[in-house]
Amino acid sequence: MVVLSSSPALKKSAIFSGVPEISLSEPGSDSLLVRACEDLGFFKVTDHGIPMELIAKLEEEALKFFASSESEKELFGRANPFGYGSKCIGSNGDVGWVEYLLMTVTSEPLSMAFLMQPSASSFRFALNEYILAVRKLACQILELMAQGLGIEQTDVLSKLVMDEESDSMLRLNHYPPCLMLREQNGFLTGFGEHTDPQIISLLRSNNTAGLEISLRDGSWVSVLPDQEAFFVNVGDSLQVLTNGKFRSVRHRVLANGWKSRLSMIYFAGPPPGERLAPLPEVMEEGEQSQYREFTWREYKSCAYKTLLGDNRLDLFHKRGDD
């Protein structure tokens, strides 16, 4: 459960300097990506080819949107699950110090009613341009991962994202300053600990700290923002597809009293009917699948029904009698 805004201030975790930084333009980036996915399930990429002007424009438009009145923001539609939401994260009682926009991403440009208004044309253009660029980047990263795993068909992962029925999403999270924390110099949970259910997630933030990840020993560490990079999370689906060789990373966001934080997360998901099971190409001789086969639709439904911090993959592990 996410900490309520009335709960005591939290202590920020120690800064972590061990996030793998991988230049996509350097030789050997495929093997470095694989190692990062195996060791941490989290890394950042540079030389990604997405213009900083494009990123800055979307950040500007998003902050302008979140600065508008509640009535204007609700014209986007109340989150169910897509649309505008505030503090309530999902439908299971999880809350956080956050407001957000959640949008479904398809092969077609965004066409939500709010975005079709003349006053939203600049926001719509920035969103569509960003989505095209970040989707391409996600596919590039997935193809390098496949290459690093020694898979001959290097689009085995990226084709799930490029499929016309791909169930991908874009989420814009805004963590406003929390005035009651200023004197305490403390932090609140903006978004509680969880793993992402999709294949991978690509994250950008507006040069404001707050992101924390859980290391293999269970300790939490703070990740400094990087204006030049995209952070990448391994998701639950990729953990299944690699039979646990890659591990999805638990992460959370802390909000502070002084500065607002804006994050933009692209979740690369497979088509709803896609059956998820370990890829034969990553299985060694005699290796058994750790998971029972299921569709993305089944897993997504499970994710929406559980609390944010629940370990959903446990429900899909193979048991001794399977």
Catalytic one of 124, 171, 250, 261? 261
Report the C-alpha gap between 170 and 137 in whole angstroms: 14
Beta bridge partners of 44: 21, 231
Specify whether 216 is catalytic. Answer: no
Report the C-alpha gap between 88 and 40 in whole angstroms: 29
Report the C-alpha gap between 24 and 47 in whole angstroms: 6
Exposed, middle or buried, 212 (CB in 10 Å: 0-12/13-18/19+)?
buried
Beta bridge partners of 204: 264
Report the C-alpha gap between 306 and 309 in whole angstroms: 8
DSSP symbols for 207-276: S---EEEE-TTS-EEE----TT-EEEEEPHHHHHHTTTSS-PPPEEEEEESS--EEEEEEEE---TTPEE
Report the C-alpha gap between 145 and 234 in whole angstroms: 11
Give the single-character DSSP code of 221: E
Which positions are catalytic? 261
